[in-house]
A and B are shown apart, each in its own frame.
Chain A
Amino acid sequence: MSTSTQDRAFLRIESVTKDFGGFRAVDQVSLDVARGEIFALLGSSGCGKSTLLRMLAGFETPTAGRVLLDGVDLAGRPPYERPVNMMFQSYALFPHLSVWDNVAFGLRRDGLPKAEVAERVDAMLKLVQMTDFARRKPHQLSGGQQQRVALARSLAKRPQLLLLDEPLGALDKKLREETQIELVNIIRRIGVTCVMVTHDQEEAMMMASRIAVMSQGRFLQIGAPHEVYENPATRFVADFIGNVNLMDGTVDGAAEIRCADVVHRLAEAPAVAQGQPVTVAVRPEKIRLDVQAPSGDRNQVKGVVTAFSYFGDHTVYHLELPSGARLKANLENERRQGEQAFAQGDVVWASWQPGAQVVLTE
């Protein structure tokens, strides 16, 4: 089965399905991942992302479909015969072995000569900056240190595919940001193709070059982070990633959507027939609040501030619209001094550019 090397994806998931008894965890998903790409499977618990990851690792066998790595079908190959390595969510460091022995474990299974094992382990530890901790046991390490060892261990064998299972899930917020950057740097430096699984959309968007949003065993959308965020394909995707305001309406005229509270003027005509019901999605940060009605061709609606949430760097204002619908608007807190821009009960005008919304049919 040979196709030209250029158009052959490095990792190809072909129509893979996984059934557990009567329950379908993964439903005919297909995906191409390019060599050296960092790809994220994003979804909430039970969407099937972990099952898919485990099928890549070899811990589950697909009920249907196949997985090809660099043109080679991985069917029938147990985990210990695949050029794939995984970094587990719980790190799974062997408690009875030192850091050094943990990293050396996989290399020793391959029967490499001692000198080479030592060379590679030292190189790995240097890469993750854990050389000083080589003699320690896992329980003598902090969470972040354990993760670095787990990463070193999973890269030691120079796998063709690296799998990350909720890589930042066990870390606290502060540590997460620093670790994200470090992790991506190391993976890019090695140049290994990487598939990660996460329920945290910030993590996915920050680390991956492409994201697949998964729900109930299916891919809802695949694309670059920017693409998925600004051009969500469905209501679910729009709502899952970040915050969004959703307004139902019908197509009215060439480039207008009539909703309960506002008639949206669009930048271009939507590819939807007249009279069709659609949902308009506007991200809160695209909305501007003014005391007076804004001039110009912005889409606008009048509402009452019912509450606001202060986040330090920005404030989210909750508005109630005439029809009773809610609207959220993010305002950056640019000024250090001074009161909140708006108080509860204020009547304000919320407005956004004609191109700021997305029209969704699903």
Chain B
Amino acid sequence: MADIADSERAARPAPRRLGGGWGRRLVVGVPTLWLALFFLLPFFIVLRISVLEMDGAQFTALFGRDADGQWQFNAHLQSYALLLQDSLYLSTYGSSLLYAAVTTLVCLLIGYPFAYFMARAAASLQPLLLMGVMLPFWTSFLLRVYAWKGLLDTQTGWVGTVLVDLGVDRVLYALGFIPAPGQLMYSPFSLVLGMVYTYLPFMVLPLYGTLSKMDLRLLEAAQDLGATAWQAFWRITVPLSRSGIVAGAMLVFIPCVGEYVIPELLGGPETLMIGRVLWDEFFANNDWPVASAVAVVMVLLILVPLVLLNKSQSGEGARA
């Protein structure tokens, strides 16, 4: 469909006016109210609770009067101090970031070639391939992670028995990925495997989106000018797919940091993930201020990649 001249569009602010005051206020207002109530407000409450002390079922007041009747601001940073002092928390944050990073890297290593070959496949085949990637996405992730518990069982599982028979488990043990030879489950290995499995489509889909839209003629031009296939790949394909890489990486990394279900089902006592810690603090220890503090720090940790993702998304929007 033909559209208005680009330069004329550039002279206009991007979205266009459409309507009267009341309707407009409602359209923006309703979601804003909802988000303010159920997204912003809870976050501030978490922030507030993280600086309070818990006494049985009650919290100390944030503002209060002391003996002289003066207003006081009772922010206690004990919870945060606890986090900083206890090496367990520090190492948990660290290992969460590490597992997330490793998962992202593995997803990239497996997912990039996957998306690449998908984009290069015959045009008639591609919708089928895309559907093939999306189908597992539509089936319950919980059930599929549960399935790995069975698959990795070294006595009866299809994957577990094969790995043991091939002696792969000894290699994994030597690398420190499993606690003992023959014990594949509840280990860093099973955790990363589970996370890679779950988040692989999140890496493949944005990459496929970018790679399939890429102009093949650029590569042909490069080869015409004397570049080998490898050179063309590294010098042209990869840089051009950068936005897809960033999007995919962030879509994997950020949720992985706070993952709970996979570490709980496939991880072990030594795979420290901050999601589990938060859960345990809340449900097991019933220590709300500490749980809140853990949450606040977690948000701060993922704030940087979050901003990065937002920037790359809006950059895409502006260029499009």
Contact = CB atoms under 8 A, between A and B. Distances in A.
Interface string A18-53: 001001010000000000000000000110001100
Contacts of A46: 5, 7-8, 11
Given A20-B12, A23-B11, A169 B2 contact: yes
B23 interface: no
B8 A45 contact: yes
Contacts of A180: none
A89 interface: yes
Nearest to A143: B2
B9 to A, nearest CB: 9
A123 interface: no
A288 B12 CA distance: 48
A274 interface: no
Contacts of B3: 89-90
Interface in B1-44: 1-8, 11-13, 16
B2 A50 contact: no
A229 to B, nearest CB: 24
Dominant SS at the A interface?
loop
A50 B13 contact: no
Dominant SS at the B interface?
loop
B12 to A, nearest CB: 6
Interface residues of A, number: 13
Contacts of A23: 11
B277 to A, nearest CB: 50
Contacts of A51: 8, 11
A141 B5 CA distance: 25
Contact of B1 (A25, A90, A166): A90
Contact of B8 (A50, A59, A170): A50
Contacts of A169: 2
Nearest to B17: A59
Given A90-B1, A169-B2, A170-B2, A25 B11 contact: yes
B2 A45 contact: no
Contacts of B16: 59
B7 A45 contact: yes
Contacts of A89: 2-4
B8 A90 contact: no
Chain B CB count within 10 A is highest, among A20, A50, A90, for A50
A20 B11 contact: yes
Contacts of B5: 45-46, 50
Chain A CB count within 10 A is highest, among B1, B2, B7, for B2
A50 B4 CA distance: 8
A170 B8 CA distance: 18
A165 to B, nearest CB: 8
A145 B2 CA distance: 16
Contacts of A166: 2
A45 B5 CA distance: 6
A88 to B, nearest CB: 9
A122 to B, nearest CB: 28
Nearest to B3: A90
Nearest to A48: B8
Interface of A: 20, 23, 25, 45-46, 50-51, 59, 89-90, 166, 169-170
28 contacts: A20-B11, A20-B12, A20-B13, A23-B11, A25-B8, A25-B11, A45-B5, A45-B6, A45-B7, A45-B8, A46-B5, A46-B7, A46-B8, A46-B11, A50-B4, A50-B5, A50-B8, A51-B8, A51-B11, A59-B16, A89-B2, A89-B3, A90-B1, A90-B2, A90-B3, A166-B2, A169-B2, A170-B2
Q: What are the 3 tightest A-B residue pairs by CB atom distance, in nearest-first order?
A: A46-B7, A45-B5, A90-B1
